[in-house]
Amino acid sequence: MLFQSIVVYYDLIPNQLDYAINVFNEIATSVYLYLMMALTDFIGENPLRNNIGWALLALVMIVVIINAIKACINCYPIIKRTLISLKAKVRRLV
């Protein structure tokens, strides 16, 4: 939470998408850690342990999917630019 407070206060991430993903990842990490604490034996026997495990797995999958979508969004302009340049080279050769 300290890192997130510094990022918000000093506006270190100018891109809105990167900022939103950063906040999402920080929140997901906090929830992930709370779920992990609920799965430990330190808490004691928990009748919801199986459901907590599934929630943890679902959270990890959601985080991976959202970060993969963000990576695809960031790569799209590069791929588009590369395909346009390749298309132009092919036209010059033909």
Instruction: Give how far the C-alpha of residue 17 lies from the chain's centroid of Cα atoms, to the nearest Å.
Output: 11
**Every domain of the chain and the residues it spans:** 2-93
User: How far is it between the farthest Cα atoms of the chain?
Assistant: 72
3-state SS, 16-75, equals: HHHHHHHHHHHHHHHHHHHHHHHCCCCCCCCCCHHHHHHHHHHHHHHHHHHHHHHHHHHH
Average of pLDDT values for 1-25?
A: 77
pLDDT tier, 71 (very low <50, low <70, confident <90, very high otherwise) = very high
Average of pLDDT values for 40-59?
A: 83
Work out the angle between the directed axes of helices 16-38 and 2-10 (0-180°, nearest 10): 170
Inform me whether the pLDDT recorded for 12 exceeds 70: yes
Tell me the two tokens of residue 73: 């969004």
Q: What is the pTM of this model?
A: 0.73
pLDDT of residue 5: 73
